[in-house]
Amino acid sequence: MLVPMAAATAGCAHRAPPPNRLPEWVFVAGHSEHPRPRAGIRGRSESSDFVVAALQQAGLRFGTDGTVPSLWQYLKSAHPEIPATAARPGDVLIFRVAPVAGGEENPCDVPDDAAIVSEVDGSGRISFVEARHGRTVFNYLDPQHPRTRRDDEGQVRNSFLRVAHPGDPTAAPLLAGEMLCGVARPLG
């Protein structure tokens, strides 16, 4: 009996902590002195830096080149990718926010935004936190209704992740649900 217990204990020593072990600063909106949003590693991506800092402080040991595609590649290779409808707090969301260039086959081949799920309500609407312009902000995503801004009661189902600009393609996505590329469970 001691041998199996010792083997089981040794195996647990390297397991990642559960999702509720993410640092508290992840879920606080605004500015803070904690290792949160900054200009990005060499100015690359503050959203990637935010997610990487949270995951590393929670106990995961990995590195990226500071870009969202690098973070997404790490997550897909080392952790399970899950359907958005199965998301739970602590999961990582990956988006393509920039408008798709002409001729680009799959915009999710080059994602450019990352966030962390903070809550999922009874209707399946996901609240998430991300780094933008030097602060953390909370937004919403409804994977079952990706093109719905508000429901019949006026509740926001999907946040705007970008503003339409002159010259954007007519059908350019603006809502979080339209821009979601994938969900990974890094601490599960």
Q: How confident is the model at residue 2 (pLDDT cuts 50, 70, 90)?
A: very low
Answer yes or no: is 167 within a domain.
yes
Answer yes or no: is 34 within a domain.
yes
Q: How confident is the model at residue 188 (pLDDT cuts 50, 70, 90)?
A: low
pLDDT at site 6: 37
* pLDDT at position 19 over 60: no
Answer yes or no: is 87 within a domain.
yes
SS3 sequence, the chain? CHHHHHHHHHHHCCCCCCHHHCCHHHHCCECCCCCCCCCCHHHCCHHHHHHHHHHHHCCCCCCCCCCHHHHHHHHHHHCCEECHHHCCCCCEEEECCCCCCCCCCCHHHCCCEEEEEEEECCCCCEEEEEEECCEEEEEEECCCCCCCCECCCCCECCCECCCCCCCCCCCCCCEHHHHEEEEECCCC
Answer yes or no: is 5 within a domain.
no
Q: 162 is in which domain, residue-wise?
A: 17-184
The pLDDT tens digits for 66-82 are 899 999 999 999 999 99
**Is the pTM of the predicted complex or chain greater than 0.85?**
no
Structural domains in the chain (count): 1
Answer yes or no: is 154 within a domain.
yes
Average pLDDT over residues 6-23: 45
Answer yes or no: is 1 within a domain.
no
* pLDDT at position 154 over 70: yes
Answer yes or no: is 8 within a domain.
no
Q: Which of 22-36, 50-64, 115-129 reaches the highest mean pLDDT? A: 115-129
Answer yes or no: is 4 within a domain.
no
